[in-house]
Amino acid sequence: MPIRQGQTRLVTDTGGRGGGRHCREGRPSLPKGCQRVSLPGQKPMPTVLRVGPYRFFFYSGDGGEPPHIHVEHDRHVAKFWLDPVRLARSGGFKAPELREIAELVSQHQGPLLEAWNDYFGR
């Protein structure tokens, strides 16, 4: 199902360490289940949220760091700490778009933190 500008959906992982736990009843999830995104030769990158053109995800090896989320759109990437929400680093996004993304991270901070804690067992 394609994402259109302005649409939001929460996406979580179906296997591996997360085991699809985010998809149980009472949690935001895709109607037809969950999705795992990974590139050949890389660890899985659980996608936890899509808003318009932005994909919010974390790397499965990120558990040793404080809670954060990676955001990508086209070839642009950014990393935001989740508590408190602040930009950690960015590559390619312009300042107005980073402000928009920071607002989205703030709006979805609760579910993003919950997905982080569930996935990393905290």
Give the tens place of pLDDT for each residue, 73-121: 999 999 999 999 999 999 999 999 999 999 999 999 999 999 999 988 8
Does 3 fall in a domain?
A: no
pLDDT greater at residue 114 or residue 23: 114
How large a percentage of the chain has pLDDT more than 90?
A: 55
pLDDT level of residue 46 (50, 70, 90 thresholds): confident
Q: Is 42 inside a domain boundary?
A: yes
pLDDT at 44: 61
Give the pLDDT score at 115.
94
How is residue 75 written in tokens?
């070839």
Work out the average pLDDT over 8-12. Answer: 46
Q: How far apart are CA 77 and CA 90, in angstroms?
A: 6
Number of domains in the chain: 1
What distances in angstroms separate CA 43 from CA 39, 40, 52, 53, 62, one per listed residue? Answer: 8, 8, 25, 23, 10
* Ramachandran sector of residue 88 (left: φ over 0; alpha: ψ -120 to 50; beta: rest): alpha
Q: Is residue 36 part of a domain?
A: yes
d(CA 121, CA 119) in angstroms, rounded, equals 6
In a domain, 1, yes or no: no
Q: pTM value?
A: 0.67
Domain that includes residue 91, residue range: 8-120
